[in-house]
Amino acid sequence: MRCLVVADLHYSLPQFDWLLNAAPQFDAVIFAGDALDIGSPVDFRAQIMVVRKYLSLLSRVTKVMLCSGNHDLDERNAEGEKISRWIDEAREYGIACDGDSLIVADTLFTVCPWWDGPLVKQKIDDQLRAAAARRLSRWIWVHHAPPVNSPTSWGGKRSFGDVELRQWIETYQPYTVISGHVHQSPFVTNGSWFDRLGTTWVFNAGHQYGRPPTHIVLDIDNTGDSTMAFWLSAAGEEVIDLKAPLQRPASPIADVPDWLTSLVTSSGRATGPIPVLPSTPVN
C-alpha cells in the first residue's frame, strides 16, 4: 500500500492541481488539514466551493482521508466550539473525514477533527477508545497538529504541538500519526519531518510555496518486508526505514524506485532553495 501524505495546502491551487495529477498512483491520499486559508483575500465560501470540487475529483481516482485544521473551521457547534461543517459534508464523495475510522488493506485509519474546546476533545478521546477496540497491527491516525515536544512540532523557538495528542500516543501507541500545522519543522534546526515516540512514528511534511507541495510517501508492503517513508521537498529528498530504529539524520534517497521517479517527472517538483521562513510558524 502506498499513501501520499500532504497538509497545509492553504488554498494553493497549483498545489491542488499537482495533488490531483499525482493521486492516481496511490492507494490513498492522506490530507492532514488546512485545505483552506483564513488569510486569503478569496472569500471563504468561494474557497470551500473550489476545494470541494478538487475533493470530488480526487475521490474518483483514489481513497481520500481529510481531517480539519485550524484554517478549515467555518462554524460553531451548539456549545460554541469551532468545527468544520464543510469537511463533514465531504463524506458525500466517499471521503473519510473528522470522526471516521476505516480499514484500507490491512491498516486501520482514524481521522481526528481539530478540537477547539473540551467537548470536541472528548469526542476524539471517545473516538480513539472505540477505534482501539478494533485496531489492527497497523493503526494510523490523521491529526492536524503534531504532538508537543517533538521535532515535528518545533517552530524554531518553541514547540507548537498538541499536549493531549502526545498523551493519546503514549496511551495507545498507534503505528503512525500523520500531522501538519507547523510549517517550518522540517526546515529549521532541531526540527524534523519525522519522529518516533515509543513505537509510534510521527510525520509532518512541512510547508513550501509553489508546485508541488512538500509531501511524504508511505510505502508499506502488506507482507511487512518493506516499510519506507519518503520525504520530498525543495530542500531535498530523504528516506527512512520504518522497521529500523530512529536515526538522525535521514538518508538521502539514493535508489529511487521507478514509481517514485514517475511521480516526480510526471507531476513536476520544485527545485532550488525554499523561501526563507519567518521565525514563528505560519500555520
Digit-coded pLDDT (tens) for 100-124: 999 998 899 999 999 989 999 999 9
Section 253-269 average pLDDT: 66
- Digit-coded pLDDT (tens) for 159-169: 999 999 999 99
The CATH classification number of 2-267 equals 3.60.21.10
The pTM is what? 0.92
Q: Strand 63-66 to strand 28-31: parallel, antiparallel, or no bridges (unpaired)?
A: parallel
- Could you give the dihedral angle defined by the CA atoms of residues 42, 282, 98 and 12, in that order, rounded to the nearest 10 degrees? 40
- Would you list the domain boundaries of the chain? 2-267
Section 239-265 average pLDDT: 84
Quick one: 172 exposed, middle or buried, by C-beta within 10 A (0-12, 13-18, 19+)? middle
> What percent of the chain has pLDDT above 70?
90
Q: Which residue has the cell 468561494?
A: 46
- Digit-coded pLDDT (tens) for 147-158: 999 999 999 999
- Confidence label for 281 from pLDDT (cuts 50, 70 and 90): low
Answer whether 139's CB lies under 8 Å from 174's CB: yes
Average pLDDT across the chain, whole number? 91
- Digit-coded pLDDT (tens) for 172-194: 999 999 999 999 999 999 999 99
Q: What is the pLDDT of residue 221?
A: 75
Q: What is the pLDDT of residue 276?
A: 35
Answer whether 47's CB lies under 8 Å from 11's CB: yes
Tally Cβ neighbours within 10 Å of residue 139.
Answer: 22
Q: What is the pLDDT of residue 72?
A: 98
- Digit-coded pLDDT (tens) for 54-85: 999 999 999 999 999 999 999 999 999 999 99
